[in-house]
Structure 1
Amino acid sequence: MPQSRSERIASVAIYCILTVITLLVLYPLYFVLIASFSAPETVMRGEVWLWPKEWSFVGYERLFANSEIGRGFLNTLLYTAAGTSLNLVMTIAAAYPLSRADFTGRGVFTLIIVFTMFFSGGMIPNYLLIKELGMLDSFWVMIIPTAVSVWNILIMRTFFQSSIPKELQEAAFIDGCSNMRVLLRIVLPLSGPILAVMVLFYAVGHWNSYFNAMIYLSSRDNYPLQLFLREILVQGQMQEMVDISDDSLARSLMDAEAIKYAAVIVTNLPMLMLYPFLQKYFVKGVMIGSIKG
């Protein structure tokens, strides 16, 4: 339908505002990218704005020369893959029963689960519990304590209730399907969008996690990549507070600046590459063609 003049003005204003917000959000990431390929001296002098200045790969060279970065990258891949897989299994196992109207006591179980969102034991009791379970400084300490998210359970339960027609499930039960078979053959194949969203949420959470590692891990062989990145950023901030009148110290500070930007790009690149493959599920109609007549 044709728009009035006031509507066209409002549309232009909205697009302008959204464009400005988008640029404000994207520019910091773009700046880190171009700074990682620029000579650190130009970055420190504030000469890098829109394009790299005096192309340099010293940050990436120094970063990949460190064997701990490769080990941390592998550890993070393992933590993310194993953790996300366990998260999906646990979330589906909790969300599907809670979405069934014939599940006796689902309100009570939902209340108990939601209760944990507002009240927890705290850091010290959690640490003592993990210590008693013998999981300190182990692979499992990065997986088991974060095995499920209550918020994601509620999101998936709501999706099952609102997006999976009860008629499909009832027809499957009439044909003799069990609950497990209905879940595997009917519900999950129609839940591609929510599964993709859960994979993205959980994977990003595991990939960016460093706090649990900082508390529960003591061996550097088990450190994730994010913990090494934190060390690089903290050391860079410490070096900025010292006198750089000495040439060697100044050169070290310049290299640390380049390493900092390179580490941020290397650490976030896998998640940035994953998002485009899952984006289509955010807008895809899950129930198109599932019910006829």
Structure 2
Amino acid sequence: MSSKMALSEKLFQTALVAFISLMCAAMLYPFIHVLSVSFSSYEESLRPGIHLYPRGFSLDAYKRTFASGDIFIAFGNSIFRTVVGTVLSVFAMALGAYPLSKKYLPHRTFYTMFFVFTMFFSGGIIPSYLLIKSLGLMDSRWVLILPTLFSTFTMFIMRNFFMSIPTELEESARIDGANDVRILLTIIMPLSKPILATVALWTAVSHWNAWFDAMLYISDHYKMVLQLYLRKLIIENQDQVMQDIMLHSTGEAPLTPETVKAAVLMIATVPIVIVYPFLQKYFAKGIMVGSLKG
């Protein structure tokens, strides 16, 4: 094999790099545009066209957004939902994935098909709403966590990863007197950091971005999540929410609704983006091993 690439290979790699670069630019542009508008002054935010950097740098949009107070309530509720929901979901799915990863589990095929059935068939919104109401979870923070505690697809990814762990480790632990619970907590889960981090990232992003269930089940203003607050700001009662924000900072420079929207969008986006670098090193390994092992 020649050490030098053929001309066709060079052209292909060049075209591939150019295509990926264009895709990255197309994905980054909305984020950069919103970030620039959120830091722009009143006059510059009214300027049509592309905003690649802030002009007339101003923090007024963020000051007025935080001054309203509602965003702190929504932010705290989203953090509670994301942290508690992620921890409980990862643990619950691990409890389901570990026994299904063992070939000696009685009726293993039946249990597997039982879980698979739930991936394709569900009761729908109305039965789910009636069930939530009958359980007394309406207008409770737990209604945002318990119904989405278990993801069958994600559990199977975790199960496949558990199957890749050598069984000799468990056998030696059993000889020392360890039971299944201790093996799971002290051997399997410490060795499964890649898949646990991957599942935690998926679950955290899902909880952070969720708003539809909060709109259905939550009516208490003090239990509203950040994404629902953002939706109300942009779609529902836009004028009233904007007026509430503006009234908390009279006498300052004027702001456009677009600037305030951009500021709230950045406040809702940045926290979950910060999590990615800490879990990225586990992500690729976790998803590859979890998807290949059958």
Q: Verify same fold: TM over 0.5.
A: yes
Unaligned runs of 5+ in 1: 240-251, 287-293
Counterpart in the other structure of 2:204: 203
Cα distance in 1, alignment partners of residues 186 and 138 from structure 2: 39
Counterpart in the other structure of 1:55: 57
Contact 1:236 1:257 survives alignment (8 Å): no
Matched, 1:269 2:270: yes
Cα distance in 2, alignment partners of residues 129 and 82 from structure 1: 22
Contact 1:75 1:222 survives alignment (8 Å): yes
Counterpart in the other structure of 2:138: 136
CA positional deviation for 1:101 = 0.9
For the structure 1 residues 141 and 101, does the alpha-carbon distance in structure 2 shift closer, same or farther, using more than 3 Å as the test?
same
Contact 2:98 2:159 survives alignment (8 Å): yes
CA positional deviation for 1:94 = 0.4
Cα distance in 2, alignment partners of residues 194 and 103 from structure 1: 22
Matched, 1:2 2:12: no
Cα distance in 2, alignment partners of residues 136 and 59 from structure 1: 34
Contact 2:46 2:256 survives alignment (8 Å): no
Counterpart in the other structure of 2:247: none
User: Percent identity of the aligned residues?
Assistant: 43
Cα distance in 1, alignment partners of residues 76 and 280 from structure 2: 25
**Structure 1 residues 20-63: Cα deviation after superposition (integer angstroms, max 9, x where no partner):** 11111111111111111112442333154322122122221221
Structure 2-normalised TM-score?
A: 0.87
Contact 2:34 2:266 survives alignment (8 Å): yes
Deviating more after overlay: 40-49 vs 83-92: 40-49
Counterpart in the other structure of 2:259: 258
| Aligned structure 1 segments of 4 or more residues deviating by more than 6 angstroms | 236-239
Matched, 1:23 2:25: yes
Counterpart in the other structure of 2:94: 92
Contact 2:40 2:57 survives alignment (8 Å): yes
Contact 1:42 1:48 survives alignment (8 Å): no
Matched, 1:168 2:169: yes
Amino acid in the other structure paired with 2:97:
A
Contact 1:80 1:207 survives alignment (8 Å): yes
Cα distance in 1, alignment partners of residues 59 and 70 from structure 2: 19
Cα distance in 2, alignment partners of residues 83 and 235 from structure 1: 27
Cα distance in 2, alignment partners of residues 98 and 13 from structure 1: 45
Structure 1-normalised TM-score?
A: 0.87
Which of the numbers 154, 157, 160 marks the counterpart of 2:159? 157
Contact 2:45 2:256 survives alignment (8 Å): no
Matches within 5 A, 1:100-115: 100-115=102-117
Cα distance in 2, alignment partners of residues 284 and 132 from structure 1: 42
Across the two proteins, how many residue pairs are aligned to each other? 274
Amino acid in the other structure paired with 2:39:
F
For the structure 1 residues 268 and 237, does the alpha-carbon distance in structure 2 shift closer, same or farther, using more than 3 Å as the test?
same
Counterpart in the other structure of 1:38: 40
**Structure 1 residues 136-183: Cα deviation after superposition (integer angstroms, max 9, x where no partner):** 00111111111111111111011111x312222233233332212221
Unaligned runs of 5+ in 2: 241-252, 288-294
Amino acid in the other structure paired with 1:73:
F
Matched, 1:13 2:15: yes
Contact 1:40 1:257 survives alignment (8 Å): no
